[in-house]
Structure 1
Amino acid sequence: MVEKRCPRLQRDGVYRWFSELPSPQRVEFLCGLLDLCIPLELRFLGACLEDLARKDYHSLRDSEIKANNPADLGSLTNLTDEVVRSKLLVSLALLGSAHREAAGVLFRTLTHIDSVINNYGLQLNEGRTGDEFLLLFTMASNHPAFSFHQKQVLRQELTQIQNIMASTSKNPGTSTLNTMATYPGCHKCQPSGNRWQPES
């Protein structure tokens, strides 16, 4: 009887564990699972995601248009601004996989992170700043709209942010950053949960 119940208990444990993860780790974990799926499983999951996304189509339509418009994205350059970071998160969530030009604009913005940290003294461990940057670069480095080279560069930036946060943390040994796995590719990456919201 115990052996028969174990699979269910383990599954419930995974659900609880996943629900308590911060957004960057949720995205990484989901992308890792997708990389383990076979093509038919991916097609099935794609149909499920398409159905779920359809429910929010109208409410997110305006935000989706802006997220895929290079001109609109070009104005979101100030990474020190919390409002801009929030808009960038929404843009990455709604960016279409075929919109290379829009991804290029986002790439140029995100790769200024070095100058932002060094010139403006941005403290990644203050408030939600570090978590927002982790989520930005986790999403971007897994997003199919970016080229392989761009994702490699973004992954390096993500690692740098993780190292900075770990070195400045009071308890680096217990930091959740150290548990974030690296998955080289993710073809259908959708963040879950209400971690961010588009403008109304």
Structure 2
Amino acid sequence: MVENRCSVQREGVYHWFSILNSAQRAEFLCGLLDLCVPIELRFLGSCLEDLARKDYHSLRDAEIKANNPADLSNLTNITDDVVRSKLLISLALLNSDNRDAAGVLFRTLTHIDSVINNYGLQLNDGRTGEQFLLLFTMASNHPAFSFHQKQVLRQELTQIQEILQVTCGEQQAGTGALATLSPATSIPTYITAPTLNSSQTGCPCCHKTLHREDGAERVDEGIGSEPMPHMTSLSCKELPVKVHVGKPSKGCNM
């Protein structure tokens, strides 16, 4: 029984992890590593080393550039989507003891305030927001950065998360406002004679209107002029009226 329960919980964790974005995955995995004891870390390191060896040759050139401060100094325009992609690759392939390269990346990433304020970078764009979240999540957890650098990068990450939360809140508020207005949208519909007659039952104002129309016809006939078109014949045709979707009819309260 306990084994089945653990299996269900494990499958739930796997499913939950599979729907996370890259930044959330990296943050969660780093948190798990902090909970591991040294022997567990050495074992996991061996497993990771074996998995990483499969792509060693294909990533060799990119790894050399990622650990070269001169190459990293050219990746300063973080408003460019291509530059951000290269920075992500550089952070992934950066050696854990390369302080010089980490310093170059740190100076590039700490310009995020001026970039957002001066260039009006829209973080609410799905891809842009995810890239910045992943950049600062990886940098704030990377061992190549000093403790002080990680603190600054963590503050920048918190600022980006707050901007995204405010933006998402505004979008949800706008969507809610549209959903509130949509039921009150007037659409034309048609009422046939049976519907009109049934709506007149128990409605004194409707009877008064018909009585006035009949009286007007009698006056016209008494004068001897040409008879007016019979108004009640309109009830046999389909009359366009305005109704509000989602609201019940209020009868005569117009």
Taking structure 1 as the reference length, what is the TM-score of the superposition? 0.84
| Deviation at residue 57 of structure 1 after TM alignment | 0.4
**Where is the strand percentage greater, Structure 1 or Structure 2?**
2
| In 2, Cα distance between equivalents of 1:70 and 1:164 | 31
Query: For structure 2, which runs of at least 5 residues remain unmatched after alignment?
Result: 174-254
| In 1, Cα distance between equivalents of 2:3 and 2:89 | 43
| Deviation at residue 126 of structure 1 after TM alignment | 1.4
| In 1, Cα distance between equivalents of 2:153 and 2:172 | 26
User: Map of 1:27-66 to 2, 5 A cutoff?
Assistant: 27-66=26-65
Moved over 4 A (4+): none
| In 2, Cα distance between equivalents of 1:117 and 1:136 | 15
Which structure has the larger Rg over C-alpha atoms? Answer: 2
Q: Quick check: 57-66 or 161-170, which moved more?
A: 161-170
Q: Aligned AA for 1:125?
A: N
User: Map of 1:49-198 to 2, 5 A cutoff?
Assistant: 49-169=48-168, 170-171=171-172
| In 2, Cα distance between equivalents of 1:78 and 1:16 | 37
| In 1, Cα distance between equivalents of 2:93 and 2:7 | 34
The count of aligned residue pairs is 171
| Deviation at residue 110 of structure 1 after TM alignment | 0.1
1:183 aligns with none
| In 1, Cα distance between equivalents of 2:3 and 2:138 | 38
| In 1, Cα distance between equivalents of 2:166 and 2:105 | 27
| Deviation at residue 127 of structure 1 after TM alignment | 3.4
**Cα shift readout 1:63-85 (whole Å, capped 9, x = no counterpart):** 00000000000000001000000
| In 2, Cα distance between equivalents of 1:50 and 1:13 | 27
| In 1, Cα distance between equivalents of 2:123 and 2:97 | 32
| Deviation at residue 171 of structure 1 after TM alignment | 3.5
| In 1, Cα distance between equivalents of 2:118 and 2:150 | 24
Structure with more contact order per residue of length (Cα contacts < 8 Å, sep ≥ 6):
1
Taking structure 2 as the reference length, what is the TM-score of the superposition? 0.66
| In 1, Cα distance between equivalents of 2:10 and 2:20 | 16
Q: Identical aligned pairs, as a percentage?
A: 78
**Cα shift readout 1:80-113 (whole Å, capped 9, x = no counterpart):** 0000000000000000001000000000000000
| In 2, Cα distance between equivalents of 1:64 and 1:171 | 41
What is the alpha-carbon root mean square deviation over aligned residues? Answer: 1.0
2:233 aligns with none
Secondary structure of the 1:27 match is helix
| Deviation at residue 141 of structure 1 after TM alignment | 0.2
**Cα shift readout 1:107-130 (whole Å, capped 9, x = no counterpart):** 000000000000000010013001
| Deviation at residue 159 of structure 1 after TM alignment | 0.2
